[in-house]
Amino acid sequence: MGREKSHEIFARAQQLMPGGVNSPARAFGAVGGEPVIMQRGAGAYLYDVDGNKYIDYIGSWGPMILGHAHPKVTEAINAAVRQGTSFGAPTEAENTLAELIIEAVPSVEKVRLVNSGTEATMSAIRLARGYTGRDVIVKFAGNYHGHVDSLLVAAGSAAATLGVPNSPGVTAGTTKDTLVLAYNDVPGLEAAFAEHGSKIAGVILEPIVGNMGTVVASPEFLKALRELTQKHGSVLIFDEVMTGFRVAYGGAQSLNGITPDLTTHGKIVGGGMPIGAYGGKAEIMDHVIPVGQVFQAGTLSGNPIATAAGIATLTTLRDEDPYPRLEQLSDRLARGLVEAATAVGLPHTLTRVSSMLTLFFNGEQVTSWDSASKCDTAKFGKYFWGLIDRGVYLPCSQYEALFVSAAHTEADIDATVEATKAVLAGL
Ligand SMILES: *Cc1c(COP(=O)(O)O)cnc(C)c1O
C-alpha cells in the first residue's frame, strides 16, 4: 500500500513542528519509520491521505470508545457549535456532564472540569497537597499521568527513591517531593509509608495501567494502598483518565471495589474533544477555589463543545451499555492473538481488562515496569509494520494498550487475527 502523500506531508511537518508532531506518541519513534497521516475516521476505521483504510485499535489513545464520528456525538457537537463556542460563563450542560460523572463513578461526589488529563492530574495533586498540608506524592514506575512536572520522574535504583527528573527542564526542586515505587509491590509500599507516612500528601496510580501496556493491580496491592493511605491520612488518587468509562461505565474502581478519595478523568469523558475532570469527596473538593484556597482555573474549562461531546458519549454508553459486547469482542481478539503467537512459538503474555489489552512480546508475567520492560520491542516493531501493511492500525509502541470500540465487528476482529497470524509467521 502506497503512503507517498503521508511521506510528503510528514516531511513538511518536520520543518514546522518538533519531530513533525504535536504529541510524541504519534511519532512512531518506538517502532521506527514515519507516521501515517490520517484524513478521516468512520466507526472502527481510519482512512489515511493516500486512501488506505485501517481497522483502528488506537481510538485516539482511548477516547473513541463509540468509534469515530458516531452520529450522536457528531450531532451533539453540531448543535452546540451553532450556539457559540465558548462563553467563559457557567452553562447548564456543565451540570449535566458533572451529574453523569458523579452518578457513574463511586468516589466522585463533586467534580471540576478542566481541559486535559494532564490538567486533571496536576490539579488533583495540588489539591492533595493543599488539603493535607503535606508535600510528598507517591507514584509508580511505568504509570503515566500526563506531562506534569512533578511526575516526570525516573525511579532510581533503590526500591524507594526520592525522584530525579527524567526530562530536561524539570528541576530537581520540583521532583524532590515525588517518591517513585514499584507497581504491585506491597512490601515496598509498606516500607515507604513506614519511613515517610506523615509527609505523604497523596498516592497517585493507574488502577489498571494502560501506559506500560495493560497491567493489572493485584487485589492485595489495592487493599494495601487504601489501608495505608487511610491510616496515614494521605489522599488516594485513582488516575482513571484511561480506564474511566472504558473498563466499565463506573471505571476501574467499580470493578475492584476500592474507593479512592480523588479520581481523575479525561479521554472518554470528552468524546474526542479536549477535556479532563478531577473529582472526589465533597469535603476534599471544597478545598478548591472559590470555596477553598487551592487555586485552579481555566478560560476554556467546561467548554460547551467538549461538554456536549462528553454528554453524548456518556449517555450513549449508559443507555446502550456496549460493555458486554466489548467484552465479547475483546475476548475474541485476545484468544486469537494468543493462538497466533502460540502457533509460531513467540514468547508472549496477553493482559486484558474489558476492551483494553496488550500482547506483550515477553514470556514472563507482566506485573510492573521491571517485567514489562523485558519485551522484544524490535520484534514488536516488525509486527506493527506488518499489520499496518495489512490495514490494521495498532498502538505504535509495545507499551501502550490496544482499544476495541463498540463500532468494531467480529469480522474486523477475525481479520486482525488473520493478519497477525500471517505477520508473525514471517518474523
Ligand atoms: C492520557 C493519560 C493522561 C494524560 O491525559 P492528556 O489528556 O493526554 O493530558 C493522564 N493519565 C493517564 C492514565 C492517561 O492515560
pLDDT in tens, 216-258: 999 999 999 999 999 999 999 999 999 999 999 999 999 999 9
pLDDT number for residue 236: 98
Residue-wise pLDDT for 261-294, tens only, equals: 999 999 999 999 999 999 999 999 999 999 999 9
Q: Active-site residue among 185, 239, 261, 412?
A: 239
Cell 478560560 found at? 299
pLDDT number for residue 82: 98
Residue 166 banded pLDDT, cuts 50, 70, 90: confident
Residue to substitute in 64, 144, 150, 397 for testing ligand 1 pocket (most ligand atoms within 8 angstroms of CB) = 144
Residue ID of nearest Cα to ligand 1 atom 11: 145
pLDDT number for residue 157: 47
Q: What nine digits make up the cell of 61?
A: 489513545
pLDDT number for residue 161: 53
Give Cα separations from 378 to 362, 382, 385 (angstroms): 12, 7, 11
Burial call 304-324: b when 16+ CB within 10 Å, e when fewer: bbbbbbbbbbbebbeeeebbe
The atom number, within ligand 1, closest to the CA of 276 reads 7
Burial class (CB in 10 A: 0-12, 13-18, 19+), 212: buried
Flag whether pLDDT at 409 surpasses 80.
Answer: yes
| C-alpha dihedral sign at 220, 225, 230, 231 | positive
Flag whether pLDDT at 124 surpasses 70.
Answer: yes
Residue 129, C-beta contacts closer than 8 angstroms, at least 6 positions apart: 135, 137, 201, 202
DSSP states along 220-247: HHHHHHHHHHHHHTPEEEEE-TTTBTTT
Rounded-to-integer distance, Cα 377 and Cα 375, Å: 6
What's the predicted TM-score (pTM) here? Answer: 0.97
Residue 160 banded pLDDT, cuts 50, 70, 90: very low
Rounded to the nearest angstrom, the distance between the alpha carbon of 61 and the centre of ligand 1 is: 9
Residue to substitute in 23, 145, 397 for testing ligand 1 pocket (most ligand atoms within 8 angstroms of CB) = 145
Domains and CATH numbers, the chain: 1-39 (no CATH), 71-319 (3.40.640.10)
Rounded to the nearest angstrom, the distance between the alpha carbon of 38 and the centre of ligand 1 is: 22
Q: Active-site residue among 267, 278, 376, 412?
A: 267
> Is 144 an active-site residue?
yes
Flag whether pLDDT at 155 surpasses 80.
Answer: no
pLDDT number for residue 158: 46
Tell me if 179 sits within 8 A of 199, measured CB to CB. no
DSSP state of 151: G
Flag whether pLDDT at 156 surpasses 60.
Answer: no
Residue-wise pLDDT for 4-28, tens only, equals: 999 999 999 999 999 999 999 899 9
Residue 1 banded pLDDT, cuts 50, 70, 90: confident
What is the average pLDDT across 180-193? 97
Q: What nine digits make up the cell of 158?
A: 533503590
pLDDT number for residue 177: 94
Residue 172 banded pLDDT, cuts 50, 70, 90: confident
What is the average pLDDT across 402-421? 98
pLDDT number for residue 272: 98
Residue-wise pLDDT for 313-350, tens only, equals: 999 999 999 999 999 999 999 999 999 999 999 999 99
Q: Which helix (H) or strand (E) holds 375?
A: none
Residue in 146, 214, 185, 153 with CA at minimum distance from that of residue 399 = 214
Residue 162 banded pLDDT, cuts 50, 70, 90: low
Rounded to the nearest angstrom, the distance between the alpha carbon of 121 and the centre of ligand 1 is: 8
Residue to substitute in 58, 113, 206, 242 for testing ligand 1 pocket (most ligand atoms within 8 angstroms of CB) = 242
Residue 35, C-beta contacts closer than 8 angstroms, at least 6 positions apart: 6, 10, 20, 21, 26, 27, 28, 396
Residue 165 banded pLDDT, cuts 50, 70, 90: confident
The atom number, within ligand 1, closest to the CA of 143 reads 13
Rounded to the nearest angstrom, the distance between the alpha carbon of 146 and the centre of ligand 1 is: 5
pLDDT number for residue 164: 76
Rounded to the nearest angstrom, the distance between the alpha carbon of 241 and the centre of ligand 1 is: 5
> Is 239 an active-site residue?
yes
Cell 520492560 found at? 373
pLDDT number for residue 364: 93
Residues with CB under 6 A from ligand 1: 116-118, 121, 144-146, 206, 210-211, 239, 241-242, 266, 276
